[in-house]
Structure 1
Amino acid sequence: MNNRVKLLGSNLDPLTMGETIEKVEELIKSGIYNQHVVINASKVNLMQENEELADIINSCPLINADGQSVVWAGRFLGYEIPERVAGIDLFLKLVELCNEKGYRPYFFGAKQEVVEKVVDIFKSKYKNLQVAGYRNGYFKEEESYSIAEEIRRVNTDILFVAFSSPKKEFWISKYQEVMKVPFAMGVGGSFDVVAGITKRAPKWMQKSGLEWFYRFIQEPRRMAKRYIVGNYKFIKLVAKYKKIDVKKDREV
């Protein structure tokens, strides 16, 4: 597998989807708890502003390039990033893996009716799937410890947390010692997609790096700051790192 690189202030594992699945299995078999993260332009921007978030992400044993913008930025800066490993695609692949290998997934997040529908859909599709448990993402902070204990009690192998960023990164990091889940990953709005509440962009837009635009036109007011302002900040950050690299080359 390719070696980890440092890109725009974030560690990144330049892996294919197949290599990522292999790494996930290694982590599950390791017997220790592990947190997984995917990075996109928005998360890279958040890391510039939040040192605690950056520390959590950079300490994860597996970090994938979720956004096509990260893949392009990496290549522009001279790194060999083989492909995008989108969080939702990895999520779906891992549920399939659970069915094949007998790993026990736990689904945590979204509204109760949504997470129930997600579990029903997966159970209907995968007859051998052994669901460790599930619950909605609406709770008080004082309930977090008991939720984490419950996740451990039911022998969870893979935890899918459907919160927004950076809440999911902070929550998993804070309670992973209690949960002791071999592999925990944040999946954002993936439950809503599986349940049919929201739609993903067409395949051609995903491959063209325009999935963000599809989401923007669906919810322009809510997504304007994240994508219009956020993309501008990301481009400025990439240009800054490119300038630093050029300066280093000249000094050599």
Structure 2
Amino acid sequence: MDNINILNTYIHNLTMQETLQVVNNTIARGKQIHHVVVNASKMVAMQTDLQLRRSVNESDLINADGQAVVWASKVLGKPLKERVAGIDLMIELVKLAHHNNYKIFFFGAKESVVKEVVKKYSDEFSPKIIAGYRNGYFKKDEEQNIARQIADSGANILFVAISSPTKENFLYENKELLKKINFIMGVGGSFDVVSGKVKRAPIWMQKNGLEWFYRFAQEPKRMWKRYLIGNSKFIALVLKEKFNGSDSH
């Protein structure tokens, strides 16, 4: 798989359909693939958080979640084919699980939210796709036990809806314990959207890279630092890499 390097981050140059094909082939062969998505704020954090950088770059499959990342790839002369948003990939994989009799474990968010996600997908598809679920609140010393419980659930797919860098580090550090699961992926706030707790931006805003603004408008107090400061830092880093002609290898 082709990958490009932007701001110390490796990103695979795949479309949504190509990504789904890689995942499906991996599950069919009984292997494991560790998937990560990156957006502007995560890439900014990776400049200084070396543990997060390792957790992301040493995963098997990395997609560009944010439109800003696709923009940056074009500015830097390493154009990505398209954005592969984590939530869209998750939704496609739930459909894939239903068609191919795969089982999913849902890990993260508040208890009421993860329960609503499981109920929604059980009603829409079938309870057969559910291997289990657990909320995202735990202490560091509980991690290995949680990983073992997930591994023993019979799941083919694991979605982890916890904020960065906790979810990336959890998957990286517990990959060996989770080796029975064919596909492991961090999905951030996706459970909040699927459950209806948070609204997603209209398609035109998603396509024009304004999803962040829609999210910011819903929760300005919580999101202002992440988006306004994070996005400004991201633009500055991209322009610096462009005009310095530096390669981040």
Both structures adopt the same fold (TM-score exceeding 0.5): yes
Structure 1: gaps of 5 or more residues: none
Q: Which amino acid aligns with 2:200?
A: R
Which residue is equivalent to 2:143? 144
Question: What percent of counterpart residues are identical?
Answer: 50
Q: Which amino acid aligns with 1:215?
A: R
Aligned-residue offset at 1:186: 0.6
Which residue is equivalent to 1:243? 243
Q: Which amino acid aligns with 1:238?
A: V
Q: Which amino acid aligns with 2:92?
A: K
Aligned-residue offset at 1:33: 3.2
Say which SS state the counterpart of residue 11 (structure 1) adopts.
strand
Report if aligned partners of 1:110, 1:136 keep a CA contact under 8 Å in 2: yes
Q: Distance in 2 between matches of 1:53 and 1:201?
A: 27
Report if aligned partners of 1:102, 1:128 keep a CA contact under 8 Å in 2: no
Q: Which amino acid aligns with 1:155?
A: G
Q: Distance in 1 between matches of 2:185 and 2:152?
A: 18
Which residue is equivalent to 1:87? 86
TM-score by length of 2: 0.94
Q: Mapping of 1:1-252 within 5 angstroms?
A: 3-127=2-126, 129-180=128-179, 181-245=181-245
Aligned-residue offset at 1:143: 2.0
Aligned-residue offset at 1:27: 2.6
Q: Distance in 1 between matches of 2:83 and 2:147?
A: 31
Say which SS state the counterpart of residue 201 (structure 1) adopts.
coil
Q: Which amino acid aligns with 1:143?
A: E
Aligned residues: 246
Structure number with greater Rg is 1
Say which SS state the counterpart of residue 179 (structure 1) adopts.
coil
Q: Distance in 2 between matches of 1:80 and 1:25?
A: 25
Q: Which amino acid aligns with 1:214?
A: Y
Structure 2: gaps of 5 or more residues: none
Q: Distance in 2 between matches of 1:9 and 1:212?
A: 22
Taking only aligned residues, the RMSD between alpha carbons, in angstroms, comes to 1.5
Aligned-residue offset at 1:129: 4.0
Q: Which stretch of structure 1 is more off in the superposition, 127-136 or 187-196?
A: 127-136
Report if aligned partners of 2:23, 2:33 keep a CA contact under 8 Å in 1: no
Report if aligned partners of 1:30, 1:182 keep a CA contact under 8 Å in 2: no
